[in-house]
Amino acid sequence: MATVVQKFGGTSVGDVTKIKRAAEKVKREMEAGNGVVTVVSAMGKSTDSLVELAQDISDSPDKREMDMLLSTGEQVTMSLMVMALKEMGIDAVSLTGWQAGIKTEPVHQNARITGIDTERIESYLNSGKAVIVAGFQGLSEGGEITTLGRGGSDTSAVALAAALKAESCSIYTDVTGVYTCDPRTAKKARQLSSISYDEMLELANLGAGVLHPRAVEFAKNYNIPLIVRSSTIDKEGTIVEEEASMEQNLVVRGLAFEGAVTKITIEQLPNEFDTMSKLFSTLADAKIDVDIIIQQMTGKNEMNVSFSVQTHELKDALKVLEESQEKLGYNDIRHEDNLSKVSIVGSGMVSNPGVAATMFNVLSEQQVSIKMVSTSEIKVSVVVPEADMVKAVDALHTAFELDVKEASKVTS
């Protein structure tokens, strides 16, 4: 008996009708003779509603209690899914993340999975049951309920697929696959038939919401076939694999973007060999995710350092920096918000010089100011005003010929 893992996101289980439709897909796999483990997200925007309830009580709700609260959303879905399956004559059982054996580090709201004990799941599979697991959650060694951060149900699904040595992992969502850009914003975006793990990982890290970055990491590390497909339309999805087998002529294979970015500048830091280490270790210890970093020498003994963070982390970042001013020895902190990050991604960029120049030329023509730049072998990211984000995305999507069905290679 082959084991397959499925994951249904919030929009795919947003109401009872959608839950029944998802249950039909579980039933189909069971009737094909497969063992099925299905990971579910909270219904629709129910997580957002829970966050709003918490914020009605506190501007800074306790992180442990937020995990206790938010983990309930997925539990509602899993129970309803099992009820739907039983009405269809399919024997099924629901498990919370901790009942499913998902173990995490002791971090609230953004924990990483450290291991999975699959004994209980395998026991149910061997008895012929479909297993429905609440995504996004686990249990720390200290017995605390933890959550995996936004999109963590993807991670739950791929980690379970790896632990169970599953044949495949299908991510069901509200789009038919991975697109050259988010089709809700880039109206001319088109679906890719396949994409490499590395390209998908860059896109996910850069704001493409179709897959969670840690899910792609798990898939790459354990070579799990990952298929992104629609929960409502029967159409071939996008395969995420080691080497993208199609559309190799594309230099840039996708664009990603994210708003709510803030640039923080720390002024007049001492120009010493351990300054950068102390600064970013301080932020890392506080679990502040730092993205683009720029260092500027302002004198023989001083320098400025700028970096970007998600705007929702600004308050925590400023707090820890202000508390560490004496240790770090800086003079002042400035920040600029209402920014966004726009990125181009493609493994073909390695062997095609001039891609960054094309990007900068396009943004210049659109009169979009560039605040920060970051590059790797397969991506270029720029921080631009949030008001110009969509304009920049549309112009770049067209410039790299991602709009057309038969894209040709950009070499200029």
Report residue 345: phi and psi, to 5°: -135, 140
Task: Supply the pLDDT for residue 299.
Answer: 79
Nearest to 19 by CA among 72, 78, 71: 78
What are 361's two structure tokens? 């030329």
Query: Domains in the chain and their CATH numbers?
Result: 3-174 (3.40.1160.10)
The string of pLDDT tens digits covering residues 264-316 is: 999 999 999 999 999 999 999 999 999 999 999 987 899 999 999 999 999 99
Residues 97, 103 contacting (CB under 8 angstroms): no
pLDDT at position 412 over 50: no
DSSP 388: G
Q: Is 401 left (phi over 0), alpha (psi -120 to 50) or beta?
A: left
Nearest to 389 by CA among 341, 330, 332: 341
- Residue 245 pLDDT class (50, 70, 90 cuts): low
The string of pLDDT tens digits covering residues 346-397 is: 988 887 889 999 999 999 999 999 999 999 999 999 999 999 999 999 999 9
Q: What is the mean pLDDT of residues 164-182?
A: 93
Nearest to 213 by CA among 123, 291, 318: 291
Separation of alpha carbons 170 and 172, rounded Å: 6
The string of pLDDT tens digits covering residues 118-134 is: 999 999 999 999 999 99
Which residue shows structure tokens 């932020």? Answer: 283
19-29 b/e with 16+ CB inside 10 Å = b?
A: bbbbbebbbeb
- Residue 405 pLDDT class (50, 70, 90 cuts): low
The string of pLDDT tens digits covering residues 85-112 is: 999 999 999 999 999 999 999 999 999 9
Task: For the full predicted model, state whether its pTM sits above 0.85.
Answer: no
What are 319's two structure tokens? 């707090």
Name the residue type at position 166: A
Q: Residue 275: helix, strand or coil by DSSP?
A: helix
